[in-house]
Amino acid sequence: MRLSLAWKLLLGYLLVVAVSITTFAVLANRSTERELRLAMGRNPEGTLVAAEQLAAYFRGRGSWEGVDRLYGAGQHMGGMMGRGVGVPAVVDLQGMPLLGDVVGPQDVRGATPILVDGTIVGYVLPPAAGAVLQAERDLVARVNRAILLAALLSLGAALIGAALLTAGMLKPVQELTSAARAMAGGDLTRRVTVRTRDEVGALSEAFNHMGDSLQQAETLRRDMTADIAHELRNPLSVMQARVEAVIDGVYPPTPENLEPVLEQTRLLSRLVEDLRTLALADAGQLPLEQTEISLSGLVERTASGYAAQAEASGVDLRLHLAPGVRVNADPGRIEQVIGNLLANAVRHAPSGTAVDISLKVGDGRARLEIADRGEGIPAEALPYVFERFYRADRSRSRDMGGTGLGLAISRQIVQAHEGTITAANRPEGGAAFIVELPLARGLSASKAEAEHRPA
């Protein structure tokens, strides 16, 4: 038989309460018996009080006549000795009983004398052993009944409290279980209410965060699937139309007519290679051949490679590079990043404007900024510019041959170098992309800043 968590918690609480009550009852019972025996074994105060009371009675009447009726068959005398302990015996000077459960002459040695004006008129004897024993048993029985009643009440209260506590603790767990099953069934929108700030509350928050991540990943997966299909559709459509036209004799199979097919295959090749690069980066398997390089020289060489494209677009490339900036990086991958950013800047810069390329050093990092003077990036698009296939202007980017993966690849490459890449709009207009990379370990921040500070 498999017990649920609720029953396990409930039985655990009850077991702890039962053990605690049993332990308390045993200790209380033994302590009561011990203290009672000690009190009954030596109770001189009770006999002294009884002797004083009896002396006052004798002084007022001059005899013991009626003493048994006055004390109600020993009930008041029992109160002198302690309730339930037993009734003491009273004897005259000859040891003859006047009060109590004794018969015949008694030995008065060790008894408490009853003094009236300095004269002994009788003695008070302690209760008989049998009466003491019975009184002890009666008292212990009453104590045990009280303990049993208290134990039952405590157990009932503990049962109710444990049930309420268990229900309160398990409600979030039950909600988590239900939400997890719904999520396993494909409902990624399910969330749970965070009711507390304890460990269960932290678990609920973690579950909700996991749900958000899964939902976002599922959305990205669907978008990426749709985007890949969309990116493949255009080249394939162009290729199919061109090849069909050649086969049908509409176009002769000349190099000029086959050139569009070759261009589309090149585009598909770039798309496949970009997807492969992203897959490797996501898996943490992007190959990097890091070495200490001059970032200043690499930026200058890459910019010179885009000089012709910029000139054809009527865009001027302006370099502001601090000399001798060195980083530990894979030169091929960093050149790919710089090339992606330069291509974007030249593509979006209006004719007759310039693209500013600056390289500075600060806080132990090299800071590369590539900025154009175009329309900039829409504010709602800024958080998504590094997402796969995201385009603020889809038609223009596709017509210009982009795959929509350049910035996503650039982010993965920069992060693999323990750097950062961000995008922003410049106050004077245009977009700016900033790449920061750690300086080479042999070049301290203070030394680099001193070397690159203007004279």
Q: Which of 223, 258, 282 is the last residue of a domain?
A: 282
Is residue 163 domain-shared with residue 116, that is, in the same domain? no
Same domain, 420 and 353: yes
Cα–Cα distance measured from residue 455 to residue 451, given in angstroms and rounded to the nearest whole number = 9
Question: Within this chain, do residues 220 and 168 fall inside the same structural domain, yes or no?
Answer: no
DSSP 2: P
CATH of the domain at 264: 1.10.287.130
Start-to-end Cα distance in the chain: 85
**3-class SS of residue 290:** coil
Does 189 map to a domain?
A: no
pLDDT by residue for the chain (455 residues), tens only, comes to 566 767 777 778 778 878 888 887 788 777 776 766 655 544 555 677 778 888 888 888 888 887 776 555 444 444 444 433 455 678 888 878 887 666 567 777 778 898 988 898 888 876 654 455 566 677 778 878 888 888 788 878 878 887 887 777 778 888 888 889 998 888 888 898 888 888 888 888 999 999 998 888 888 778 778 777 877 887 888 889 989 998 998 889 898 888 888 888 888 888 888 888 888 887 778 888 899 999 999 999 999 999 999 999 999 999 999 999 999 999 999 999 999 999 989 999 999 999 999 999 998 999 999 999 988 899 888 888 888 777 665 544 444 545 678 888 899 999 999 999 999 999 888 999 999 999 987 654 444 444 445 44
User: Where among 98, 125, 152 does a domain terminate?
Assistant: 125
The verdict on residue 192 lying in a domain is no
Q: Which domain holds residue 329?
A: 291-452
Helices 295-305/331-348 angle, 10° precision: 50
Domain assignment present for residue 432? The answer is yes
Q: Are 89 and 144 found together in one domain?
A: no
Q: Is 377 inside a domain boundary? A: yes
Task: Indicate whether 29 and 171 sit together in one domain.
Answer: yes
Q: So what's the pLDDT on residue 341?
A: 94
- The single-letter code of the amino acid at 208 is N
Same-domain check for residues 18 and 48: no
Same domain, 302 and 393: yes
Reported as half-sphere exposure (CB side, CA atoms, 13 A), residue 428 has a value of: 7
pLDDT computed for residue 397 by the predictor: 47
In a domain, 184, yes or no: no
Helix (H, G, I), strand (E, B) or coil at 348: helix
- Indicate which CATH number applies to the domain containing 385: 3.30.565.10
439 lies in the same domain as 390: yes
Task: Indicate whether 78 and 141 sit together in one domain.
Answer: no
Same domain assignment for residues 254 and 319? no
Asked if residue 80 and residue 219 are part of one domain, the reply reads: no
In a domain, 378, yes or no: yes
- 373's tokens: 């003077």
The answer to whether residue 13 is domain-embedded is yes
Provide the whole-model pTM: 0.54
pLDDT score, position 272: 86
Domain final residue, candidates 264, 282, 300: 282
Q: Structural domain tally of the chain?
A: 4
For residues 367 and 447, state if they share a domain: yes
> CA torsion angle for 442, 448, 452, 455 (degrees, to 10)?
-120
In a domain, 148, yes or no: yes
